Amino acid sequence: MNAECQHRTDADAYEAGELSPGERAGFEAHLVSCAGCRAAVESTRRVVGLLRSMPQVQSTRDLAPLIISQLRDETREAPRPARWVRIAAIAAAVTLLAGGAFMTFEKAASSTEPTAAVADENTASMQRALDWFCQNQESDGSWNAERWGGNRRFEVALTALPALALLSADPQTPQQLTAVAGATKWLQAQQTGAGSFGPEFQGASYNQGIATLALLHAYQRRPDPALKRSLDAALANILSRQIRTGGWGYRYSQVTDRSITEWHLEVLELATALGWENTRPSLELGRTWLAANPNPRTDAEEPADSPSTLLARAGSATAAESAKLDFYRAYFLSSALKRKRDDSSHQRLAALRQTLLLQQVTDGFDAGSWPADDRWGRAGGRLYSTALASLSMRDR
């Protein structure tokens, strides 16, 4: 090799394809007359070939779960406000929720409308939840129940709930529209010939009610003939399963379940409002049953709903522990409070939302979601808690 040649360093760049077209042409012209550089190019080629012939290292396992677990641990260990500050904040919200006065909300209590700042905070909270849903939707349009701590048999309901939360956004962002379209398509694909959704098991009634409700909301936003056919079948299935009492229950059971009945009535109310006429008799029958059976969960006047009662029940439990929400109850209670127009209901709704806000995750992978640490968390996981909490934050 000609060590003295000024083009020597170009040999490696030439072999690596790093010379510009002009440089390359010039170097190739030089190669014709420089045996040293030709040898250098050839030598580089051999060495690079040898380097590349070394076997690649292949990992034997997926490192992602380990890393995510490590990051979660770090997030949990991250500094948070002092425990007494958090307890005081939650206790304050609890006090208000129980009907007590708290000066933070004095102004809000003077009006039946929330203050702009509070409304903004609620909207921002809901937006964070919707972002979390958009980020964690599967490519097929579903949300993976098991990934988020839920039971996979409820995957239909646990896809419909985020879809419902996304459908409540107004206006919807393009990302939210895409997420809803994906979820709608996935839900339709789960429908059987009998009009039901997902697997047949005891809790299938939840899948049926919540999926139908989500599809009705999607249809309300964007009427579509295929979606209507799907809804016709889903509604026929629901009507066929109404129990003689007027309510609905678990599959294979003739006992009316309040929660399942409430979902189904929400479905029939919307379907009737959207023009389905055959749903009206069932709706009336269901309403009659509901009126005859007072509801400790949804009746906003019912004392059993008040956290003060919870606190009394909890005995020695701390205020923070007692204030831990049952998201299911929060959803139904907020729906009931929203329908009322008096100051007291608005005040209680504000306090309920304040309690929810305090429990929303603000950092890390789960930012925007709510931990599913209530009694239904094992069935619904984080999808359930986040969907119902965010739906409790909406104004409509």
| Contact set with another protein (CB under 8 A) | 1, 8-9, 11-13, 16, 18, 39, 43-44, 46-48, 50-59, 62-64, 66-68, 70-71, 74, 131-132, 135-138, 364-368
The minimum distance between CB 159 and another protein, in angstroms, equals 14
* Distance in angstroms (rounded) separating the CA atoms of residues 381 and 36: 69
CB-nearer residue toward another protein: 132 or 186: 132
CB-nearer residue toward another protein: 44 or 272: 44
Q: What are the DSSP E strand ranges found in the chain?
A: none
- Residue located via tokens 């204030």: 323
Query: Looking at this protein, which amino acid is placed at residue 116?
Result: A
The minimum distance between CB 3 and another protein, in angstroms, equals 9
The minimum distance between CB 74 and another protein, in angstroms, equals 8
How far, in Å, are 338, 346, 355, 386 from residue 114 at the CA level?
11, 7, 15, 22
CB-nearer residue toward another protein: 44 or 306: 44
Is 40 within 8 Å of 1 (Cβ atoms)? yes
Which token pair is 276?
């389905």
**In terms of Cα–Cα distance, which of 284, 180, 269 is closest to 224?**
180
**In terms of Cα–Cα distance, which of 176, 180, 182, 178 is closest to 141?**
182
CB-nearer residue toward another protein: 27 or 206: 27
CB-nearer residue toward another protein: 58 or 316: 58
CB-nearer residue toward another protein: 150 or 307: 150
* Distance in angstroms (rounded) separating the CA atoms of residues 162 and 28: 62
The minimum distance between CB 66 and another protein, in angstroms, equals 6
CB-nearer residue toward another protein: 17 or 275: 17
* Distance in angstroms (rounded) separating the CA atoms of residues 322 and 128: 25
Query: Looking at this protein, which amino acid is placed at residue 302?
Result: E
The minimum distance between CB 198 and another protein, in angstroms, equals 22
* Distance in angstroms (rounded) separating the CA atoms of residues 164 and 106: 33
The minimum distance between CB 166 and another protein, in angstroms, equals 16
**In terms of Cα–Cα distance, which of 326, 328, 327, 307 is closest to 318?**
307
The minimum distance between CB 170 and another protein, in angstroms, equals 22
Q: Is 58 left (phi over 0), alpha (psi -120 to 50) or beta?
A: beta
